[in-house]
Amino acid sequence: MLFTPFGTEPELLTITPALAVEARLGEWGSGFALGTAGYRDLLDPQDFFSPRVPFSAITMGIIAAARADVAGKHGITSLHIGGEVRPHTQQFIDLCARIYAAAGITVHLQGGNARTTPIWMSSFGVFHYGLGGGENFTASHSQSYKGGWKPMDEHGMQLLGMAGEIQARVRELTSTICTDGLVIPLAPANDPRIRHDFDPLPAYVESLGKLMDPAGIDTIRQALIGGLKVAICTEGGSMGAAARRIFGKLDLPMDDRGITFLYEEESQDYHGIGQLDGVNHGVDPGKWQIYKHIGAQDLLARGAADIVFIWDPDGDRFNIVTTAPANLADRARDAALEVDPLDGTRCLVYFKPNQIYFLLTALRMQALGEAGLLDKYDFVAAITYPTSRSILAVAERIAAEHGAHIGTVLVPVGFKYFGELVASVQRQLLEGAGEITFTEATGRVRNLGHNPRFLMMAEESGGAAMGTLDWVKNHDNSGASLALKEKDGFQVGLFTLLAAARLHKTGYSFAQWYLDLLARYPIPYAAYERQDITLYDESLQGDARRAAQQAANALKDSLVSYFRGLTGLSPDAATARLRGDLKDPDFPAIRNAFWAQDGSFLEFDGAWFELRASGTDAVLRYYFEGSDPKTVHRLNSALVALRA
């Protein structure tokens, strides 16, 4: 071993030139980057110290040393470290804590009996305690053989500018490592600078009171007492322990009635969820390999649950499985909902994240309208470029009913860009700016009014957060916030609980509610599709992995370059080129095309398309949205089949 995990003596992590060559650290360091979700790559579940994988004690030691150097440069004296359940998480936390402590940084680890920390809890806690920053060891929904590290700033927002400094320092440290080696000091694990005192959960629960009023919580409570049965699958991740504590503090019934948990016990491989026919699909709640294979259908069929929730391991993604009267099945399919038969009177209805956020946006808007608050604040709905425009459209339709206005904002993929939006608005409000504005990645300036509040911030992959009406203050009143700067699956789950409670009282299904909203607020964007093209098998190691990566990067670069090239042409020229390459003279005409910072965006009449390379997985994502599901699928499939 290079050092003793959890050792109680000072140690040195010594990376010799021979080890650096064996681990190909020069090559690794020159390509190191912090992407959409921080750093994410292959680990060895059996060997914490493996030199054969890019995510290990060796590489994380270098990254932590770089983070400590950058923190020192900026005068950062305190950091939080949390994480979920995938292999070696606690060892990685120990390693980084000891490196930071040796550099004079005070480290705050999870306190009490909990071992794990959902990503939103890390974010909220960094803000609440006024720390200099933090990080969470998570690869979110990815397969358990991938490791992940997500650093955040003092606001609990994933790093933006400082990420480049860490990246540059990693490259500097590894530029001569194969000839000179590297020695990294480690403090003992019981160093007084390493403190197990991070427990912002009680304050987080208090902040929920500024998001949902007591009447809403009581509506949920009474529905659960009155017979509503909600089963929650936490996939063996960090949400089981956190959600149980929060529900307890909210006095919501669990276990004997009301809320029950599935796969609550923490598990490094997520109890095998997502592993089908020899293929590991990860644990994204939005994938059918997950929501159709956790036992939800059986629970709903025999009446053991009225609705099933799914949270991913770090609590940032969420999904539901519901039932509806069988006579709604055809209408639900026509509205682009996924439907399966269940029994003689009911069908199963599955919702995608976009559709859930559409519902919750409508729920919040209608509640704010009923309370007479839509004209008191300037509400803002924000989405990433490849997220369904239906979310913005329903907010605008409901606002118009009440004679109000909704500000809308588009940001690139990555919740850090929502964090940037929130931080910008807060800064302008505190500086007393009369009119609050935000400049999008394309240069378009959005006017957000005089007193903005965040209605919904959502991305199609399954992450969202909502803002409060009143400022939430931190522990010593030295800071305040209007919205969490990270995806918060618990917020989403709580509002879905409220929706379930209201529907339970009326006997309505989620599908009927969705159809009623579409009928009441006709919108052009009701059919949405994402097709993913896997570029290579990320479980590969060694030379096989490098060869697969090289071929995948060639394909990715050619396709990304082709579609980006369209954004540099006039709409007529881009249309002509695309129609010619597709050999389809009737393909819709492009009305506008632009580079959305991480993907190529094409606008048509009543429809749009985006191609982007995933920032978390070896995947190309093709998004298309329009009004008719069959047309959307046909057009998107044609673009997927295109080769530059």
How confident is the model over 261-286, as pLDDT tens digits? 999 999 999 999 999 999 999 999 99
Mean local confidence (pLDDT), 42-62: 97
Q: What is the pLDDT of residues 540-586, one digit of tens each?
A: 988 899 999 999 999 999 999 999 999 999 999 999 999 999 999 99
Mean local confidence (pLDDT), 610-617: 90
Whole-number pLDDT of residue 525:
84
Whole-number pLDDT of residue 109:
98
Q: In the numeric block, which tokens belong to residue 520? A: 């009441």
Q: Give residue 260's identity as a one-letter amino acid code.
A: T
Mean local confidence (pLDDT), 140-147: 95
Fold for the domain defined by 211-350: Alpha-D-Glucose-1,6-Bisphosphate; Chain A, domain 3 (3.40.120)
Burial of 161 (0-12, 13-18, 19+ CB in 10 A): exposed
Q: What is the mean pLDDT of the chain?
A: 96
Nearest-5° Cα angle at 548, 542 to 550: 105
Whole-number pLDDT of residue 174:
98
Whole-number pLDDT of residue 398:
96
Q: Is the sign of the CA dihedral 411, 416, 418, 422 positive or negative?
A: negative
Whole-number pLDDT of residue 615:
81
Whole-number pLDDT of residue 526:
80
Spatial contact of 592 and 582, defined as CB atoms under 8 Å apart: no
Whole-number pLDDT of residue 462:
77
Its CATH class, for the domain covering 356-493, is alpha beta
Nearest-5° Cα angle at 320, 357 to 352: 50
| pLDDT band, residue 587 (cuts 50/70/90) | very high
Instruction: Say whether pLDDT at 113 is over 90.
Output: no
Q: What percent of the chain has pLDDT over 70?
A: 100
Instruction: Say whether pLDDT at 45 is over 90.
Output: yes
Q: What is the pLDDT of residues 68-85, one digit of tens each?
A: 999 999 999 999 999 999
Whole-number pLDDT of residue 494:
98
**CA 65, CA 80: separation in Å to the nearest integer?**
15
Q: Please compute, for residue 327, the number of CA atoms within 13 A of its CA located in the half-sphere on the CB side.
A: 0
Spatial contact of 181 and 17, defined as CB atoms under 8 Å apart: yes
The second-level CATH assignment, the architecture, of 527-641 is 2-Layer Sandwich (3.30)
Whole-number pLDDT of residue 36:
82
Report domain extents, the chain: 11-199, 211-350, 356-493, 527-641
Spatial contact of 399 and 441, defined as CB atoms under 8 Å apart: no
SS3 562: helix
Whole-number pLDDT of residue 598:
85
Whole-number pLDDT of residue 532:
94
**CA 354, CA 5: separation in Å to the nearest integer?**
42
Instruction: Say whether pLDDT at 156 is over 90.
Output: yes
**CA 120, CA 419: separation in Å to the nearest integer?**
12
Spatial contact of 145 and 233, defined as CB atoms under 8 Å apart: no
Residue with token string 């949920």: 220
Its CATH class, for the domain covering 11-199, is alpha beta
Spatial contact of 508 and 412, defined as CB atoms under 8 Å apart: no
- In this structure, the number of other CB atoms found within 10 A of the CB of residue 397 comes to 17
Whole-number pLDDT of residue 617:
85
| pLDDT band, residue 151 (cuts 50/70/90) | very high
Instruction: Say whether pLDDT at 448 is over 90.
Output: yes
Domains 356-493 and 527-641 share a fold: no
- In this structure, the number of other CB atoms found within 10 A of the CB of residue 568 comes to 12
Strands (DSSP E) contained in 451-520 are 452-459, 463-465, 467-473, 480-483
Burial of 435 (0-12, 13-18, 19+ CB in 10 A): exposed
Q: In the numeric block, which tokens belong to residue 42? A: 């292959």
Q: In the numeric block, which tokens belong to residue 390? A: 């239906």
Instruction: Say whether pLDDT at 644 is over 80.
Output: no
Q: In the numeric block, which tokens belong to residue 515? A: 């159809």
Cα separations (Å) of 503 from 322, 354, 430, 506?
12, 20, 40, 5
